[in-house]
Chains A and B, each alone.
Chain A
């Protein structure tokens, strides 16, 4: 990463706790972490939830390419953080000189496109129950189970809350709560404060497939 020295004019330093950008703020730059840790959070209801903690040489804020779209989460410095700040205007200069970063960004975009497509598939289901079931299928595909070591057959454990599920399904929390309660009554899932256990993921796969229009 020695070749980044010439990009000093894009360097920014943030002190611990300092916000780099806020959720809902229109954004036109994205960042490459050089040193330190960046915390990504989102305020859900009355809690600021940790989404991720990033360190060098990760990229964040790349959705700024969506021109004026509001930031979907807040990024703040966990310790003293040094980043390079880029925007659409100077992005090409950076990428030309740093193919590794360009490749990294390419991979980030790949993942974002996949995530968004998967999300689109959830949202196009008409049946609200199927939407919720499909959220778990998506989580299973992309994040894996939270305990990969002891994957017991068809059972899956997800560290998500009702609000998370509501967010992914594009539904409001109270509806999701009611429908999850219904699933729990049918003994298809177990609800906990900090996790949801799906007893048979294949059951959900069959259910979603039966509801998806061909």
Chain B
């Protein structure tokens, strides 16, 4: 049975660094979780609502508490051991679902913060990485694995940087598989020469390759990997690939097609955002501002809000209007810390470069 406990104002339920074994629920009173933001070092006070659980992550993960739980007004709490918490929540699945949502948002945020500190955004590397993975399997005569990965490459990036080469590799893998079987036959000769790319190496120790442009068109093949991905998703990744190749005008049209397809998936919002990025990339500052303004008016809760405001700030900056630029950067910083923090860091830098708010 969970134990009820009473705490006086100004007492502490647990300290940062304590070894965790209990999950708490606030029944009455006021409790605040105090901790320093890992990015800014700023002290954050998160007030717990009545009925809300706290101390869940550290108890479940069995790692030290990450915050001080300070009682602001006399409080009654219920303390669950982990097994008690498990029994309780398994009969109240809604609670777990709610926590899953909170945790997945936290995970997204911290993931983004980590990505932001890495030298290279993963999105640009994914295409090369997938190609190199297929190449690796082919080289090591793991033909069915090569066939899967190259098939996926061509599904996601039909007009990608390495699509011709990937087509030929796929054909080679198919041929070797039917002729020799997995792991057998002569080692396939690969034509691409490895050119080291420090940025991608720093990211994951995989060197990027720049294959020589192939004179021959790939013969027709059908990627054998079944696609569980929707057509919109494929179109979207292809457009992203065009963007990463700096083919901004083509990327713009590709994103536009997605927004006009009537598909209401998450890719619609992403594509809208990316259209604005394309406009910015080709130096259409006015168009980019207009585009983002339109999105913000129709979707005030757009997931990429902070990034949009940042790019709008950049656009004004490029147009020479530092006052407006500053206003937009400040707006990014005034948004809640839960929102996209890579935009915050960039906005802060940009604002400092302009001599502060």
Contact = CB atoms under 8 A, between A and B. Distances in A.
A120 interface: yes
A59 to B, nearest CB: 12
A81 to B, nearest CB: 15
Given A19-B145, A166-B205, A24 B126 contact: yes
B97 to A, nearest CB: 6
Contacts of A48: 136, 140
A95 interface: yes
A95 B107 contact: no
B130 interface: yes
B108 A74 contact: no
A99 B204 contact: no
Interface in A53-102: 63, 65-70, 74, 76, 85, 92, 95-96, 99-100, 102
Nearest to B203: A170
Interface string A43-59: 11110100000000000
Contacts of A187: none
B73 to A, nearest CB: 29
A120 B96 contact: no
Which secondary structure characterizes the binding site on chain B? helix
Interface string B88-132: 011101001101100110111011011001110011011101101
B285 interface: no
A25 B152 contact: yes
A195 interface: no
B90 A70 contact: no
A129 interface: no
Interface in B292-331: none
Contacts of A17: 144-145, 182
A70 B129 contact: yes
A117 B129 contact: no
Nearest to A87: B228
Interface in B39-80: 39, 41, 56-57, 60-61, 63, 66
Interface string A148-174: 000000000000000100110011110
A172 B60 CA distance: 34
Contact of B100 (A69, A85, A105, A214): A105
Given A17-B182, A85-B228, 16 more contacts: A18-B144, A25-B156, A28-B228, A43-B133, A65-B107, A69-B122, A70-B122, A96-B97, A105-B100, A109-B103, A114-B63, A120-B110, A123-B114, A123-B117, A167-B205, A172-B198
